[in-house]
Amino acid sequence: MTLLLASLLLSAVTIHTDFEGGCLGQIQKVSDSHFRLAVKGESDQDHRNRQANWYYFRVDGASSQPLTLDMVNLPGEYNYKPNRGAVTKDTPPVISYDGVHWEHLKTFEYDPKEPKLTLHIRPQKATFWVAHCAPYTNQTLAKLRREIHNSPDFHEQKIGKTVGGRDLLLWTITHGDNKSKKTIWLMFRQHSWESGSSWVGEGAIRTLLSDESRKLREEVIWKIIPLCDPDGVARGGVRFNANGFDLNRNWDLVDPIKMPEITAQRNAVKQWLESGNHIDLLLSLHNTEMNEYLEGPPDNGGNGKFKPLAERVFQILSQQTTFAPAGPLRYAEETTTPGKPGRMTVTQGLYRDFKVPGFLMEQRISYNAKLGKLPDIAERVKFGGELVQALAKAVVQ
């Protein structure tokens, strides 16, 4: 009897988030094999714009018996408009048995009424991890940094600290000092849930530092902010810094206390320009659940000045990479919410202040028609290489 009890206790399924990027709201046990898991979600500094799409947890003590996990508490708000949430039948989670290899779960159903996404898992091992999309944490970036930091064409600056005291990094990749060479700025992971953009960043950086890419380093100075929101990534956040400020809004404000991340990144751009340098193209890469597009600089492409560049970038990406836009090239508005401060994206703010030709790219995490599947890590990394080739081609003529 005691032995039986002990083995029952040992085999009890438990759910954990006590690791970097781990995140869930309330965990409710319906039965030994059925749990309701609230997606925690986060809101901004005014308790608005709740977004509930990042979850990342570990299951321990699973047997080979099927488990049912209901992902709930999904509805939210985006740019002040309510929605049913970003977790749907189109965005099944990824699952991993080693924390390295991830694949999309194929057995799930979506109930739009509650709404909830029910996962049916027949565990292959006692321990496994589940996430909204393949995680990329500060530890993942640190591993990349260890591999590349001795490269002679790699240079690192610390440009500031986050609210939580983490370093904000600016990496420069270039070879030689041809003064007329072009400059391309890349920003990854302004929003912490968007891990796909970090995998693209990793692919971009590895390509730029490869032996075959010497020409890319000779022709272009690459300025890269590899991870714009280290605090959010660490806590498993969504799109706000530790004080609730959306790191791809608020670029019309300078507040080093409430949003030191934006201030540091903006100052790095400002100092670069004020030192007599130029920026030929800036791109911030993002993920959405369902949409994919490229958005050029405001003011209809800088009153037309940047339109040829924008059209070149869009055409090369559309024709030569797995970028699968849902519509034509578009241009940013002056702000995301007219009349309200704190609502400019990075490209809007930097255009207003410095006339930087900035681009925003969104890539969907759902089905990509060019790939014919849901994008995985290898495809993101590969796209990173394609991206830097395409941008260099568009800028160096």
Q: How far is the CB of 248 from Zn ion (least distance, A)?
A: 6
Residue 249 or 286: which CB sits closer to Zn ion? 286
Q: How far is the CB of 175 from Zn ion (least distance, A)?
A: 31
Distance CA 63, CA 175 (A): 54
Q: How far is the CB of 194 from Zn ion (least distance, A)?
A: 5
Q: How far is the CB of 140 from Zn ion (least distance, A)?
A: 18
In the structure, how many helices (H) and strands (E) does the chain have?
10, 20
Residue 21 or 123: which CB sits closer to Zn ion? 21
Residue 172 or 336: which CB sits closer to Zn ion? 336
Q: For the chain, report the end-to-end CA distance as a whole number of angstroms.
A: 78
Residues at the interface with Zn ion (CB under 5 A): 191, 286
Q: How far is the CB of 191 from Zn ion (least distance, A)?
A: 4
Residue 288 or 389: which CB sits closer to Zn ion? 288
Could you give the dihedral angle defined by the CA atoms of residues 48, 52, 57 and 59, in that order, rounded to the nearest 10 degrees? Answer: 130
Residue 123 or 232: which CB sits closer to Zn ion? 232
Q: What is the 3-state secondary structure (H, E, C) of 303-319?
A: HCCCHHHHHHHHHHHHH
- Are 93 and 74 in contact, with CB atoms under 8 Å apart? no
Could you give the dihedral angle defined by the CA atoms of residues 332, 337, 339 and 345, in that order, rounded to the nearest 10 degrees? Answer: -50
- Are 342 and 252 in contact, with CB atoms under 8 Å apart? yes
3-class DSSP assignment, residue 125 = coil
Distance CA 35, CA 27 (A): 7
Beta-bridge partner residues of 363: 287
Residue 58 or 286: which CB sits closer to Zn ion? 286
Q: How far is the CB of 190 from Zn ion (least distance, A)?
A: 6
